[in-house]
Amino acid sequence: MKRITCFAIFLFSAVILSAQGENKNSLNLIPAPVSVKQGAGQCTLPYNAVIWYNGQEDIGKIVNQLADRLNTGGNLIRIKKGKSDMPGSINFVLTNEPDIPAEGYQLIVSRKNITLKAGQAAGLFYGTQTLLQLLPAAVEFPERQKPIKSWTLPEVTIADQPRFGWRGLMLDVSRHFFTVQQVKDYIDQMVKYKFNLLHLHLTDDQGWRLQIKSLPKLTDVGAWRVERTGTFGTLSKPLPGEKATYGGFYTHEDIKELVKYAADRFVNILPEIDVPGHSLAAIAAYPELSCTPGEYYVSPGDRFMIWPGGGQHFYGTLDNTICPALEKSFEFLDKVFTEVAELFPFGYIHMGGDETARNFWEKSEQIKALMQEKGLKNLDEVQSYFVKRVEKIINSKGKKMIGWDEILEGGLAPNAAVMSWRGMKGGIEAAKQGHEVVMSPTDFAYIDYMQGDASIEPPVYATLRLKKAYQFEPVPEGVNPSLIKGGQANLWTEQVYTTRHLQYMTWPRGMAIAEALWSPKEKRNWEGFSERVERHFSRLEMAGVKYAPSMYDPIVVAEKKDSVSVLLRLSTEIDGLSIHYSFDNSFPDQYYPAYTTPLLIPKDAVTVKMITCRNNRPVGRMMVIPVADLKKRAGIK
Ligand code: ACM
């Protein structure tokens, strides 16, 4: 233990030195601010600096959060009401100056002291995040043992404001459950990058995670499943009599605590209850909500659902849908949304609506009767009938409804907002119909996807590299930009078992999405961003937050040369790296041949091994790909 502490202190002093050096050259702010005017000097904050503010309660919370970060290890930062011109002071100023827009701020770090101005508390909060990023990485270290004598910041004037009001991250707490503390930790991480919305995917086939007092079986039964570890979709079904031991849920008290914690950090929580599909946990608790009588269980991630591809609908071996033909389904949803609306103050409730399996509906006599009674021509219209009724329920609780883009099928509910995930097209269509849109397309914003080559990343559906995520542009050509509320990155957790992996999947791609949602479009620049990301790696290390180093790994393309041989094309996501390789099964390093032109894999080679280097030292991970896999990729049998 002692050795760990000594090492941590050493590491932390080393980072202070290097971070102070860096700050002279570049501010490394993520997301990039609107305007930065850097001076040549520095501001020094003494260990006992005073933070001044007007005494307002919401601003007091921000000031306290800043003081807590500076005070770790016994510093004596003080907080006072009023203003001061004292050297080394920090002044929080709420102003009605017209040139500071909503959520915007001005941060002036002079050689003498620091002034942070905003028209609203939210702006002061975002300005505080910028201020913290101007401080050395040591400010991220939570277990500081000794006070820091003084903090040094670069002289700078920053004027800043967000591009979009909806800057979200979605966390799937159904497929794997994360505790209140773990969700708070995630909020702490996201606010550093000025995200202001946490979308909690609270229900799915693998677990119902929200206490509904009027429907106790939802959590007595629906929150628990048998425990399995491995690859989602291949996991084994519950055995007869096997106890459901994995799971958890949030009580009303838990949600109140989370909502307050988030609000103190200017984060709204968007609750999602995913219906009519993805509802196996609810059906396991209340099987009478299904159109299909049968035995139901909360799925541990077994293959009860099949995705045929080619744009066709899901079909299931179990009916995981809430039946639109039953009045009791809507009575159930009324109870659910009554409690959801009371618990979550945010103005929107997400009703899911995605990936509804239709194969049981096709066979259901009740659905046929519903179609006849209501004049519904097809199953799209059945889904639309369901969604419109859900919208009425949600609106009756004083909330707006948002759903995944499938809610467009069969006709959009009159007031609904659309979250576009199957590309941007659903969002474009919804905006053309005059509806609000949040963009979260798989192509740019699905952070459950692998971040690099499948040979080195934990396997999951598809790949989304950092560079691609950074190209996320939420406003497509030809739509009314005022209908695009913003965007979000989505972290589905079928393959995310732990918070360490949650962090690995989120960072650094979360930084790319944060910049797409906050910074002016014209400020965005991949080379500059990737350099800033590298600086932030040391901050994440200090904070004990895991990140993916995938941007250092080679991009591998295998091409068929002839019926037996493969040509390898290698490249890198960031500049300044060389790629070194071997075909002889040994581990390459900087002394191995460097890639310059496409490589023909030698006839009997079994593996290709690769590593990237910078300044003659390895920086990437050792990538090992069997030649047989590369042949498959190239289409050679
Ligand atoms: C989704 O990814 N099924 C919304």
Distance 355 CA to ligand 1 centre (A): 7
Please check whether residue 31 lies inside any domain of the structure. yes
Whole-prediction pTM: 0.94
CA atoms within 13 A on the CB side of 299: 26
* pLDDT on residue 11: 39
Percent of the chain at pLDDT > 90 equals 89
Q: Is the pLDDT of residue 129 over 90?
A: yes
Tell which of 519, 542, 576 closes a domain. 519
Please check whether residue 300 lies inside any domain of the structure. no
**Are 27 and 146 in a shared domain?**
yes
Which residues span the domain enclosing 93?
6-160
- At residue 246, the 3 state secondary structure works out as strand
Tell which of 133, 160, 187 closes a domain. 160
Whether 203 contacts 210, CB under 8 Å? yes
Tell which of 109, 138, 160 closes a domain. 160
The single-letter code of the amino acid at 64 is: N
Q: Give CA–CA dist 94/53, Å, rounded.
A: 8
Distance 354 CA to ligand 1 centre (A): 6
Q: Please give, one letter per residue, the 3-state secondary structure of 397-449.
A: CCCEEEEEHHHHCCCCCCCCEEEECCCCHHHHHHHHCCCCEEECCHHHHECCC
**Are 79 and 206 in a shared domain?**
no
Percent of the chain at pLDDT > 70 equals 96
6-42 burial, b if ≥16 CB within 10 A, otherwise e?
eebbebbeebbeebbebbeeebbbbbbbbebebeeee
* pLDDT on residue 26: 78
Question: Which residues, in sequence order, are CB contacts of 255 under 8 Å at separation 6+?
Answer: 210, 211, 343, 344
What is the per-residue DSSP string for 108-131?
Answer: EE-SS-EEEEESSHHHHHHHHHHH
* Upstream peptide bond of 33 is cis (omega within 30 degrees of 0): no
**Are 143 and 173 in a shared domain?**
no
What is the per-residue DSSP string for 117-183?
Answer: EESSHHHHHHHHHHHHHHS-GGGG-TT--S--SEEEEEEEEEEE--S-SEEEEEEETTTS---HHHH
Confidence of residue 29 (pLDDT cuts 50, 70, 90): very high
| CB 355 near ligand 1, within 6 Å | yes
pLDDT in tens, 428-467: 999 999 999 999 999 999 999 999 999 999 999 999 999 9
**Backbone dihedral angles phi then psi of residue 553, each to the nearest 5 degrees:** -85, 150
* Upstream peptide bond of 276 is cis (omega within 30 degrees of 0): yes
**Are 249 and 387 in a shared domain?**
yes
Active site annotation includes 313: no
Instruction: Count structural domains, the chain.
Output: 3
Residue of minimum CA distance from atom 1 in ligand 1:
354
Q: Which residues on neighbouring strands pair with residue 152, listed in sequence order?
A: 44
| CB 404 near ligand 1, within 6 Å | yes
| CB 449 near ligand 1, within 6 Å | no
Q: Give CA–CA dist 422/413, Å, rounded.
A: 19
**Are 472 and 612 in a shared domain?**
no
Q: Give CA–CA dist 512/526, Å, rounded.
A: 9
Active site annotation includes 278: yes
| CB 12 near ligand 1, within 6 Å | no
- Nearest CA-CA partner of 544 in 120, 15, 147: 15
Element (H, E) at 558: strand 555-560
**Are 189 and 148 in a shared domain?**
no
Q: Give CA–CA dist 606/237, Å, rounded.
A: 37
pLDDT in tens, 202-233: 999 999 999 999 999 999 999 999 999 999 99
Q: Give CA–CA dist 112/115, Å, rounded.
A: 10
- Which residue in the list 264, 355, 380, 429 is annotated as catalytic? 355
* pLDDT on residue 299: 97
* pLDDT on residue 625: 98
Q: Is the pLDDT of residue 22 over 80?
A: no
* pLDDT on residue 310: 66
* pLDDT on residue 311: 64
- At residue 618, the 3 state secondary structure works out as strand
Q: Give CA–CA dist 415/388, Å, rounded.
A: 9
| Higher-pLDDT residue of 629, 22 | 629
* pLDDT on residue 149: 83
Pocket test for ligand 1, best of 232, 305, 492, 495 (most atoms within 8 A of CB): 492
Return the CATH number at 623.
Answer: 2.60.40
* pLDDT on residue 143: 83
Q: What is the mean pLDDT of residues 119-131?
A: 98
* pLDDT on residue 13: 38
Distance 188 CA to ligand 1 centre (A): 25
Distance 102 CA to ligand 1 centre (A): 32
Note the Cα 609 to chain centre separation in Å: 32
| Higher-pLDDT residue of 181, 46 | 181
Question: Which residues, in sequence order, are CB contacts of 279 under 8 Å at separation 6+?
Answer: 203, 205, 289, 320, 321, 322
Average pLDDT, rounded, for the chain: 94
| CB 354 near ligand 1, within 6 Å | yes
Please check whether residue 62 lies inside any domain of the structure. yes
Please check whether residue 312 lies inside any domain of the structure. no
Confidence of residue 2 (pLDDT cuts 50, 70, 90): very low
**Are 26 and 86 in a shared domain?**
yes
Q: What is the mean pLDDT of residues 582-593?
A: 98
Q: Which residues on neighbouring strands pair with residue 582, listed in sequence order?
A: 609
pLDDT in tens, 564-574: 999 999 999 99
| CB 446 near ligand 1, within 6 Å | no
* pLDDT on residue 535: 96
Note the Cα 426 to chain centre separation in Å: 21
**Are 144 and 186 in a shared domain?**
no
Distance 242 CA to ligand 1 centre (A): 30
**Backbone dihedral angles phi then psi of residue 98, each to the nearest 5 degrees:** -70, -20
Q: Give the ranges where 347-397 is alpha helix by DSSP (H).
A: 359-363, 365-374, 379-396
Please check whether residue 358 lies inside any domain of the structure. no
**Are 16 and 134 in a shared domain?**
yes
Placement of tokens 């075909």 in the chain:
583
**Are 32 and 149 in a shared domain?**
yes
**Are 589 and 455 in a shared domain?**
no
Q: What is the mean pLDDT of residues 462-489?
A: 97
**Backbone dihedral angles phi then psi of residue 189, each to the nearest 5 degrees:** -70, -45
Element (H, E) at 107: strand 105-109
Return the CATH number at 504.
Answer: 3.20.20.80
Please check whether residue 49 lies inside any domain of the structure. yes
Q: Give CA–CA dist 161/168, Å, rounded.
A: 16
Q: Is the pLDDT of residue 76 over 50?
A: yes
**Are 139 and 170 in a shared domain?**
no
Torsion of CA 295, 296, 301, 302, to 10 degrees: 10
Please check whether residue 560 lies inside any domain of the structure. yes
Please check whether residue 282 lies inside any domain of the structure. no
Active site annotation includes 355: yes
Q: What is the mean pLDDT of residues 473-496?
A: 97
Return the CATH number at 80.
Answer: 3.30.379.10
| Higher-pLDDT residue of 43, 48 | 43
Q: Is the pLDDT of residue 74 over 80?
A: no
Pocket test for ligand 1, best of 175, 320, 354, 408 (most atoms within 8 A of CB): 354
**Backbone dihedral angles phi then psi of residue 124, each to the nearest 5 degrees:** -65, -35
Give the number of the atom of ligand 1 that is nearest the alpha carbon of residue 421.
4
Residue of minimum CA distance from atom 2 in ligand 1:
421
- At residue 254, the 3 state secondary structure works out as helix
Q: Is the pLDDT of residue 14 over 70?
A: no
